[in-house]
Structure 1
Amino acid sequence: MDDPAGPSSRDLRIVHPAHPGAHVLALHGRADASTTDGLEDDFLYATAYGPRLVVDLSGLLYGDETLLGLLVQAQKFHDVELVGPLAPSFQRRLDITGVAAWFTVHPTLTAALNH
């Protein structure tokens, strides 16, 4: 049953905190095929914003190949930096696919923005 105070852990909540010099996407919950409607649009908008995209995954409980594909696609055209700690299952997905080295993972959003 969903918590009346907010989304359940099965939902994906996307926040766009404003920061000069970078577009930030903060993902909370689960990013999988059943929850990522609209996420591609968020990535397209974010990458149109400028050359630097910071994706805060510290609130992500699970991310599947949909999220991985969006990150890889965005990395082709922009500097994409991640904020962790990453969910262990998503870190394994990055490692297994061989793309972990493509992304800088910062311990906090502040560290990423000051980089």
Structure 2
Amino acid sequence: MPPHNLSEVIDGIMQYIDNNDITIDELIQYVKAPDFPTGGTIYGYDGVKEAFHTGKGRVVMRGKAIIENVNDRECIIVSEIPYQVNKADMIKKNADLVNDGKIEGISTIRDESDRKG
């Protein structure tokens, strides 16, 4: 089970205590979706709803990146990655694509994250 926001879960539990006949669709108003520690954006809510209803569902996620100018160069800053994507593997795969000439215009790839992200 993916992680969820604790305060949303508590709100959902309180609603269930007040009304143990609450439907899943009503409960979803309080526990909206998983809350992933690495960030990322959920695309399409159907998979989330299916998971709440059946216990199985496909949640499509994307990371977040911005382009910044640093020392007169454009830099792609990846600030969030999808849940359970291994950061080191992602960096290696991107470096391989650059080295194989499949992605052009990137001169350096490095991990500048720390314990806080």
Higher-Rg structure is 2
More RCO (CA 8 Å, sep 6+)? 1
Greater share of strand: 1
TM-score normalised by structure 2 residue count: 0.31
